């Protein structure tokens, strides 16, 4: 039985004053049915971990370097995220794939470094609108999955987030049938790539999840939760999504 996960990605949003939203969320959901995670910008991670300590909301990073330390100005390693109180890290978000030209191989290396630091890696993948229109969605996500999964991925240390690029921050979502088709295909690939673990690895959907559509999306077989951007910034919205899981 896979425990559902609601993961909030604050992206490049959040100042010290916004810690109050996370605190409010934690207080409003002292015993959520699902696992809850907030991934703030790196500047807030340690303070958020302190704010939420003793509660049930975990804290994660939004990216990590492939190395544990070194001459990489401006980067943050998985070891540093763990040291600051993170338990998870998002890798391969489409904004990073696009803004920083991250390849599947780089993402696999980041996920491996997350695992080495004891973090759970949330590996993101998803097709562009042009790829969907060209009928390439299943081939694209299969190739991304094969290329981004590191050696040693397990149900405990790896989560996959299917995030169609065209649905992120746009208010548009795939149909329920389209989400189901991709999640079923990803589950089949995971089972064949990792026979002992593939059934247990959680598959999140991400892309314009909000309180109004959460329950319908979460009812899809093989949707084990959500990666939520904009709607994770406000305790009331993210709380409503958590309650739908
Ligand atoms: C995301 O950033 O991963 C995301 C899914 O964003 P949004 O929920 O705003 O579409």
Q: Supply the residue whose CA is at minimum distance from atom 5 of ligand 1.
A: 207
Range of the domain at 53: 5-12+20-244
Backbone φ and ψ for 30, nearest 5 degrees, come out as -70, -25
Reply yes or no on whether 163 is catalytic: yes
Percent over 70 (pLDDT), the chain: 100
pLDDT tens for 136-174 read: 999 999 999 999 999 999 999 999 999 999 999 999 999
pLDDT confidence band for 230 (50 / 70 / 90): very high
Helices (H), the chain: 19-28, 45-52, 78-83, 94-99, 104-116, 129-133, 137-148, 176-193, 211-218, 235-244
pLDDT tens for 40-81 read: 999 999 999 999 999 999 999 999 999 999 999 999 999 999
pLDDT confidence band for 26 (50 / 70 / 90): very high
CATH number of the domain that residue 206 is part of: 3.20.20.70
Task: Point out the annotated binding site for substrate.
Answer: 9-11, 169, 208, 229-230
Pocket test for ligand 1, best of 14, 98, 209 (most atoms within 8 A of CB): 209
Ligand 1 centre to CA of 28 (Å) is: 22
Among 21, 163, 183, 189, the one annotated catalytic: 163
Q: If DSSP codes are grouped into helix, strand and coil, which group holds residue 242?
A: helix
Pocket test for ligand 1, best of 172, 205, 229 (most atoms within 8 A of CB): 229
Say if CB 113 and CB 86 are below 8 A apart. Answer: no
Ligand 1 centre to CA of 205 (Å) is: 10
Domain count within the chain: 1
pLDDT tens for 64-74 read: 999 999 999 99
Q: Which atom of ligand 1 is nearest to the CA of 232?
A: 8
Q: Say whether pTM exceeds 0.95.
A: yes
ipTM: 0.98
Say if CB 92 and CB 125 are below 8 A apart. Answer: yes
Task: Report the pLDDT value the prediction gives residue 1, as an integer from 0 to 100.
Answer: 83
Average pLDDT over every residue of 192-207: 97
Average pLDDT over every residue of 3-26: 97
Average pLDDT over every residue of 210-229: 97
Q: What is the largest CA-CA distance in the chain?
A: 48
β-strand pairing of 158-162 with 120-125: parallel
The CA–CA distances, whole Å, from 184 to 109, 121, 230, 244 equal: 26, 21, 26, 21
């Amino acid at each position: 039985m896979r425990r559902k996960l609601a993961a909030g990605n604050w992206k490049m949003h959040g100042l010290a004053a916004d810690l109050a939203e996370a605190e409010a969320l934690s207080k409003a959901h002292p015993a959520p049915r699902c696992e809850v995670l907030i991934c703030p910008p790196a500047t807030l991670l340690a303070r958020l971990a302190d704010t939420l300590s003793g509660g049930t909301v975990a804290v994660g990073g939004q990216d990590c370097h492939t190395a544990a330390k070194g001459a990489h100005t401006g980067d943050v390693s998985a070891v540093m995220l763990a040291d600051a109180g993170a338990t998870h890290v998002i890798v391969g978000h489409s904004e990073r794939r696009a803004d920083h030209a991250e390849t599947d191989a780089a993402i696999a290396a980041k996920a491996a470094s997350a695992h080495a630091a004891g973090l759970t890696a949330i590996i993101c993948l998803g097709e562009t609108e042009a790829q969907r229109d060209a009928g390439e969605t299943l081939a694209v996500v299969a190739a991304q999955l094969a290329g981004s999964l590191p050696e040693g991925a397990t149900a405990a240390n790896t989560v996959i987030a299917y995030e169609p690029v065209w649905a992120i921050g746009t208010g548009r979502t795939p149909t329920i049938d389209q989400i189901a088709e991709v999640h079923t295909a990803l589950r089949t690939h995971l089972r064949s790539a990792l026979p002992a673990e593939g059934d247990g690895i959680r598959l999140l959907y991400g892309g314009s999840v909000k309180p109004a559509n959460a329950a319908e999306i979460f009812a899809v077989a093989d949707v084990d939760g959500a990666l939520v951007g904009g709607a994770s910034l406000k305790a009331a919205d993210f709380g409503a999504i958590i309650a739908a899981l």
